[in-house]
């Protein structure tokens, strides 16, 4: 992820002694939290516990999520609605959601519409479904979701 390398770059330039150690520890903690949240996300999408999910599964679950998140029922999500409920001290989670929000906001109007949200699902499934069989397995999902790289 870009913001991790950015943060590491700041750490590396800002500190002299111990910079390498600290950066390594930060990266490791980040990796663990990425893996855990990717796994939690996968489990949420794999509601029937098949060890996989399809685009249809994901869109069904995410569209329910969209309606729940759309606090003021205007049919679109603001960033405030999107990150609502994330504890303030979980800066890493807030950053991840903010990034996801920006990626989803296709027309860059500062809101994520249902269409954009569904399109995001299509992009995630296309990206993750390495063997293009229409099913995203846990392995396929974890490969793209938990990696530290883009
Ligand atoms: Ca709204
Ligand atoms: Ca938009
Ligand atoms: Ca597949």
The tokens describing 125, both together, are 């499934």
Would 80 be classed as within a structural domain? yes
Contact 29, 141 (CB under 8 A): no
CA 114 / ligand 2 centre spacing (Å): 9
Task: Tell whether the torsion through CA atoms of 104, 109, 112 and 114 is positive or negative.
Answer: negative
Would 58 be classed as within a structural domain? yes
Number of domains composing the chain: 1
Would 103 be classed as within a structural domain? yes
User: What element of type H or E holds 107?
Assistant: none
Residues with CB under 5 A from ligand 3 (ion): 129, 131, 133, 135
Would 90 be classed as within a structural domain? yes
CA 108 / ligand 1 centre spacing (Å): 15
Would 150 be classed as within a structural domain? no
The tokens describing 3, both together, are 């913001």
Q: CATH number for the domain including 53? A: 1.10.238.10
CA 63 / ligand 1 centre spacing (Å): 13
Domain span including residue 30: 2-145
Q: How confident is the model at residue 10 (pLDDT cuts 50, 70, 90)?
A: very low
Ligand nearest to the CA of residue 55, numbered in listed order: 3
Would 69 be classed as within a structural domain? yes
pLDDT in tens, 11-60: 444 444 566 677 777 777 777 778 888 899 999 999 999 999 999 999 99
pLDDT in tens, 44-103: 999 999 999 999 999 999 999 999 999 999 999 999 999 999 999 999 889 989 999 999
């Amino acid at each position: 992820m870009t913001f991790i390398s950015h943060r590491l770059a700041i750490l590396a330039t800002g500190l002299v002694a111990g910079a390498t150690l600290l950066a390594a520890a930060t990266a490791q903690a980040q990796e663990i939290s990425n893996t855990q949240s990717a796994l939690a996300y996968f489990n949420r999408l794999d509601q029937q516990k098949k060890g996989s999910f399809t685009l249809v599964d994901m869109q069904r679950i995410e569209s329910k999520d969209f309606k729940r998140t759309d606090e003021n029922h205007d049919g679109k999500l603001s960033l405030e609605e999107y990150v609502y409920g994330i504890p303030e001290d979980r800066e890493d989670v807030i950053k991840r959601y903010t990034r996801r929000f920006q990626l989803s906001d296709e027309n860059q109007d500062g809101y994520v519409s249902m269409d954009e949200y569904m399109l995001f699902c299509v992009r995630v499934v296309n990206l993750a479904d390495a063997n293009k069989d229409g099913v995203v397995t846990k392995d396929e999902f974890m490969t793209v979701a938990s990696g530290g790289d883009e």
